[in-house]
């Protein structure tokens, strides 16, 4: 069966709540980075070098899309760029291991120094990401380029010691709001650079902003408020936005429904079918278990994928960050099952 | 008029649940001023408060920020009372090593387990985050720990957890330690697969698991 519409149009239709021939199968990058070891070893375009060079980043993004079958490009390959610009110390990791925050820049919210937005324009990695988006969107007009952001709460928790930060959300609301509001403005600026470079979709993952960590009151006060501020600004740029919420959702189900993103991506143990039934206006995205993708065989993966298809999930994707040691055969079984379900 | 010591302990416990550092400090100082046994004040005042906070966390009445603030309040009390503990009161505690495995720097979960284990009577040595498997083993040996707790939030680093157990086996010392694992992507199935002694879903459950593993 040959596809009648391009991957880019299919994803745009789904994000716009329109009908389509079938759901797209994507992996947005950032927290959900699909640059797995199997791909890099086959092509020699490897991390951590590709975090810094636009040529390598472009080649690796192309390798990933071609070899995994995911119907998009997803960059960057980590969630440390924002914190790097704001001063935290980054460990760029290895081929197998994603970059991480080595040390947060500030001890408390009151200590945070707010640099000029220009710091984002001047950062070498941001420039490489913007150039890569530009190159990919010019070279592949039919494939959507997704730019991934680390959400406001997670970015704030990557520049302030996270244990202190979580307490200050209660104890020092004034400075907490000040920092998160500023961080959100930074993310809007960064999203603007992506939009100018020709990005098709912005995807936001905010793994610190879960109902399990924050509880419903603070999830509303901080996560929903600032994610919506960010999403509204992205909409003003004329781009759709995906939001991924980690963890169990029971405590914050009603709050999550207040998010104004164009699709909601969730963890493996959240029932997207329930979300669809409760909130028909939400475009659902997800949520094949990454544990299944890493440790089970291709037959199990196909079965799991068919369940998502049967439940009419709007956009099919992994449920969370993929392990870099996920076998390519499992990912192929995943993407091929979406493309030709029999 | 001085309150009875039972009332004072109850107030200390309540103040921890209420996350009220100032009140915990005031009450702890009062316990010292009254000449109460400092060990007993911790054991019957502060510890029950933190256990109640852990219970509320498990019931999803409290979340991470609240639990951390209760722990801060408890620590204020401990800092005041500890210097007054008579040395023959300090019973020998079981030692535990806790850390986040190499490749991961997320340590919120590890820190929660650490503070609940301490509340539960363990002497906990925190080796930090992004720690190689071999270092867990070396530290457990040199500290004379009996419990090794390994945490990760990233699926990428799960295999390194198994390495800790492999190293213990290679050195022929696997039976000297109990190894427990936890963190976002970990399940009981994974724990069983790598030969760990246990898995727990959250910090409060981790304490029950640790106690159970050392039951005679």
- Is B108 close to A322, i.e. CB distance below 8 A? no
Secondary structure (DSSP) of A107-166: SSGGG-----THHHHH-HHHHHHHHHHHHHHHH-TTS-EEEEEE-HHHHHHHHB-HHHHH
> Mind telling me how many Å the CA of A224 is from chain B's nearest CA?
17
Is the CB of residue B56 less than 8 Å away from at least one CB of chain A? no
pLDDT band at B216 (very low <50, low <70, confident <90, very high): low
> Mind telling me how many Å the CA of B103 is from chain A's nearest CA?
6
- Is A167 close to B69, i.e. CB distance below 8 A? yes
- Is A162 close to B108, i.e. CB distance below 8 A? yes
pLDDT band at B100 (very low <50, low <70, confident <90, very high): very high
pLDDT of residue B23: 97
In a domain, A30, yes or no: yes
Domains of chain B: 5-88 (1.10.1240.10), 95-213 (3.40.50.280)
What would the two tokens of residue A40 be?
């890099």
Enumerate the residues of chain A whose CB falls inside 8 A of the CB of residue B66: 170, 215
In a domain, A305, yes or no: yes
Q: Could you report the per-residue pLDDT of B161-213, keeping only the tens digit for each?
A: 999 999 999 999 999 999 999 988 888 999 999 999 999 988 888 999 999 99
In a domain, A9, yes or no: no
pLDDT of residue B88: 65
In a domain, A19, yes or no: no
| B96 beta partners | B124, B147
Map residue B130 onto helix, strand or coil.
strand
- Is A163 close to B108, i.e. CB distance below 8 A? yes
- Is A218 close to B65, i.e. CB distance below 8 A? yes
What would the two tokens of residue B142 be?
């040199």
Comparing CB atoms, the residue among B66, B156, B184 nearest residue A324 is: B156
- Is B157 close to A97, i.e. CB distance below 8 A? yes
pLDDT of residue B103: 77
pLDDT of residue A97: 85
In a domain, A165, yes or no: yes
Q: Could you report the per-residue pLDDT of B9-22, keeping only the tens digit for each?
A: 999 999 999 999 99
- Is B64 close to A214, i.e. CB distance below 8 A? yes
pLDDT of residue A164: 94
Q: How many CA atoms lie within 13 A of A250 on its CB side?
A: 3
Contact A224, A231 (CB under 8 A): no
- Residue A224 structural domain: 26-339
User: Which residues on chain A place their C-beta less than 8 Å from a C-beta of chain B?
Assistant: 91, 93, 96-98, 100-102, 162-163, 166-167, 169-171, 212-215, 218, 246-247, 251, 290-291, 294, 320-325
Nearest CA in chain A to B20: A171
ipTM: 0.86
Provide the CATH number for the domain around residue A334: 3.20.20.210
Tell me which residue of B45, B43, B63, B44 sits closest to B53, measured CA to CA.
Answer: B63
Distance from C-alpha of B36 to C-alpha of B51, rounded to nearest angstrom: 22
- Is B155 close to A294, i.e. CB distance below 8 A? yes
In a domain, A14, yes or no: no
Counted across chains A and B, CB pairs separated by less than 8 A come out at: 73
Map residue A204 onto helix, strand or coil.
strand
Distance from C-alpha of B44 to C-alpha of A322, rounded to nearest angstrom: 46
Comparing CB atoms, the residue among A102, A213, A214 nearest residue B105 is: A102
Q: List B residues 34-53 in contact with A (Cβ-Cβ < 8 A).
A: none
pLDDT of residue B156: 74
Enumerate the residues of chain B whose CB falls inside 8 A of the CB of residue A32: none
Contact A154, A17 (CB under 8 A): no
**Tens-binned pLDDT, residue by residue, of chain A (342 aa):** 456 899 999 999 999 999 999 999 999 999 999 999 999 999 999 999 999 999 999 999 999 999 999 999 999 999 999 999 999 999 998 998 889 899 999 999 999 999 999 999 999 999 999 999 999 999 999 999 999 999 999 999 999 999 999 999 999 999 999 999 999 999 999 999 999 999 999 999 999 999 989 999 999 999 999 999 999 999 999 999 999 998 888 889 999 999 999 999 999 889 999 999 999 999 999 999 998 998 899 999 999 999 999 999 999 999 988 988 899 999 999 999 999 976
H/E stretch holding B128 reads strand B123-131
Is the CB of residue B142 less than 8 Å away from at least one CB of chain A? no
In a domain, A8, yes or no: no
Mean pLDDT, range B106-131, rounded to an integer: 89
What would the two tokens of residue A202 be?
């912005």
> Mind telling me how many Å the CA of A114 is from chain B's nearest CA?
24
Nearest CA in chain B to A36: B156
Mean pLDDT, range B83-110, rounded to an integer: 83
Q: Count of domains in chain A?
A: 1
> Mind telling me how many Å the CA of A101 is from chain B's nearest CA?
7
In a domain, A315, yes or no: yes
């Amino acid at each position: 069966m040959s596809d009648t519409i391009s991957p880019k149009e299919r994803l745009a239709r789904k994000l716009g709540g329109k009908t389509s021939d079938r759901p797209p199968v994507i992996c947005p990058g950032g927290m959900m980075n699909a640059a797995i070891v199997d791909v890099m070893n086959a092509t020699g375009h490897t991390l951590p070098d590709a975090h810094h060079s636009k040529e390598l980043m472009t080649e690796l993004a192309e390798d990933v899309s071609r070899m995994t079958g995911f119907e998009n490009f997803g960059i960057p390959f980590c969630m440390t760029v924002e914190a790097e610009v704001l001063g935290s110390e980054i460990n760029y990791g290895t081929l197998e291991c994603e970059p991480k925050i080595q040390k947060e820049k500030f001890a408390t919210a009151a200590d945070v120094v707010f640099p000029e937005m220009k710091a984002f324009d001047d950062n070498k990695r941001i420039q490489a990401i913007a150039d890569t988006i530009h190159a990919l969107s010019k070279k592949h007009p039919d494939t959507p380029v997704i730019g991934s952001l680390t959400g406001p709460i997670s970015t704030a928790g990557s520049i302030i010691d996270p244990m202190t930060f979580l307490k200050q959300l209660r104890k020092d609301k004034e400075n907490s709001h000040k920092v998160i509001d500023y961080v959100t403005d930074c993310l809007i600026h960064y999203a603007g650079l992506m939009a100018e470079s020709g990005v098709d979709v912005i995807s936001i993952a905010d793994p610190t902003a879960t109902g399990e960590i924050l509880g419903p009151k603070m999830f509303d006060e901080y996560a929903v408020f600032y994610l919506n501020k960010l999403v509204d600004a992205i909409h003003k740029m004329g781009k759709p936005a995906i939001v991924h919420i980690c963890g169990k959702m029971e405590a914050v189900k009603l709050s999550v429904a207040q998010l104004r993103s164009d699709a909601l991506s969730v963890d493996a143990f959240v029932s997207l079918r329930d979300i669809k039934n409760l909130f028909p206006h939400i475009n659902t995205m997800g949520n094949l278990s990454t544990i299944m993708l890493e440790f089970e065989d291709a037959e199990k993966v196909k079965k799991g994928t068919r369940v998502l298809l049967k439940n009419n999930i709007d956009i099919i994707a992994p449920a969370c960050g993929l392990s870099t040691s996920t076998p390519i055969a499992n990912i192929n079984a995943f993407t091929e099952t979406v493309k030709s379900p029999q | 008029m001085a309150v009875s010591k039972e009332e004072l302990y109850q107030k200390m416990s309540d103040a921890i649940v209420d996350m009220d550092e100032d009140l915990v400090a005031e009450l702890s100082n009062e316990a010292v001023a009254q000449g109460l046994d400092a060990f007993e004040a911790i054991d019957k005042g502060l510890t029950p408060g933190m256990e109640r906070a852990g219970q509320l966390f498990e019931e999803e009445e409290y979340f991470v920020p609240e639990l951390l603030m209760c722990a801060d309040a408890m620590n204020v009390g401990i800092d005041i009372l500890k210097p007054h503990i008579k040395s023959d009161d300090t019973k020998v505690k079981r030692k535990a090593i806790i850390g986040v495995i190499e490749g991961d720097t997320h340590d919120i979960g590890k820190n929660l387990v650490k503070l609940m284990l301490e509340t539960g009577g363990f002497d906990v040595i925190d080796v930090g985050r992004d720690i190689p498997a071999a270092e867990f083993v070396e530290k457990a040996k040199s500290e004379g720990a009996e419990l090794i707790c390994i945490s990760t939030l990233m699926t990428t680093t799960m295999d390194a957890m198994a390495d800790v157990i492999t190293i213990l086996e290679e050195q022929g010392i696997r039976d000297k330690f109990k190894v427990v694992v936890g963190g976002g992507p970990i399940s009981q199935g994974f724990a069983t697969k790598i030969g760990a002694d246990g898995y727990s879903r959250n910090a409060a459950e981790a304490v029950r698991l640790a106690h159970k593993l050392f039951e005679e």
